[in-house]
Amino acid sequence: MARYHADLHCHSTASDGSDPPARVVERAKERGLHVLALTDHDTVAGVAEAQEAGRRLGVQVIAGTELTCYIGKREIHVLGYGIDINHPGLKNHCEAFQAKRIERAQLIGQRLAQAGAPIDIDAVMRNADGGVIGRPHIAKALMEAGHVKDFQEAFDRFLGDGKPANVPKLEVSPQECVAVIREAGGMAIMAHPALGDQFDLIDTMIAAGCSGVEVCHSAHDEATQNRLHAIVIDRGYAHSGGSDCHGTVKGCEPILGNYGLNAQQWKKFTAAFERATGRPLT
């Protein structure tokens, strides 16, 4: 059973997860979670399906997303919670980002061919079933084509920073991402500060409009969580947490519910949401 009451960070096939949204919620039910936030990358396409499954299974599903932004060349992720998935500004932002992702995928395909590792990029996009195309999809295609043995080799040889098929993502500022989330009625949280060693950016992200940071995360060891917990307590920031589960897409067993918020932390999170937005989190 899950160790936590709420897991506020997970992904489905709407972006780069292995399971459809409804199956993610089924996993949450199986794990004993009471609350789940679906936070697919730069899209809200899976939220309606997840919430319908949540109503059927008795799991509270929070409408979420994980938007990508940059400070210089540093990529930061911003989690949005309690958003209106039909808000025009949010929809326009996600659609523009997805269009750029498709352009990027096609360019990566061209560069892979030039590097002697061709893949059928059109098939990759079809297999994503309308979801956001990410490097994990392309890494899987490289594996299936026999060019690499695993995800790590795909990034080490072709897709990682400075490699032949690395193509920068669409540049978006933190202020733009936070504004999109807040205009859609949501609360913005800085995701996994320990990934990429982004502790120095926490206050910058708060200044951009984030209400808090993700403390409990699958990439955060106990010392990191303690460090982040001290920061949020000292500075009065909201405390979030989630597994960042992608299902089995990265070759791992699903970790849904292994990281998140306990019941008391969830109660404090909902209070922080209401202070930030002026309404309850439903």
- CATH number, domain at 131? 1.10.150
Q: Average per-residue pLDDT in the chain?
A: 92
Tens digits of residue pLDDT in 194-204: 998 999 999 99
What is the domain-level CATH number for residue 19?
3.20.20.140
User: Around 110, how many Cα atoms within 13 Å sit in the side-chain half-sphere?
Assistant: 7
20 and 89 belong to one structural domain: yes
- Residue 123 reports pLDDT greater than 90: no
Q: What is the pLDDT of residue 128?
A: 64
- Residue 178 reports pLDDT greater than 80: yes
Token digits for 61? 């599903």
β-strands 60-71, 35-38: how paired?
Answer: parallel
245 and 205 belong to one structural domain: yes
Q: Which domain holds residue 219?
A: 6-93+173-277
Cβ-proximal residues to 59 (8 Å cutoff; 6+ apart), any chain? 25, 28, 29, 33, 34, 35, 36, 53
- 124: pLDDT confidence band, cut at 50, 70 and 90? confident
Flag whether 166 is in a domain: no
- Number of domains comprising the chain: 2
- Residue 133 reports pLDDT greater than 90: no
Q: What is the pLDDT of residue 135?
A: 81
Flag whether 133 is in a domain: yes
- Residue 131 reports pLDDT greater than 70: no
Tens digits of residue pLDDT in 209-229: 999 999 999 999 999 999 999
Tens digits of residue pLDDT in 75-108: 899 999 999 999 999 999 999 988 887 888 899 9
189 and 273 belong to one structural domain: yes
- How buried is 249 (Cβ within 10 angstroms: 0-12 exposed, 13-18 middle, 19+ buried)? buried
146 and 218 belong to one structural domain: no
- Residue 175 reports pLDDT greater than 90: yes
Flag whether 45 is in a domain: yes
Q: What is the mean pLDDT of residues 110-123?
A: 92
Tens digits of residue pLDDT in 24-72: 999 999 999 999 999 999 999 999 999 999 999 999 999 999 999 989 8
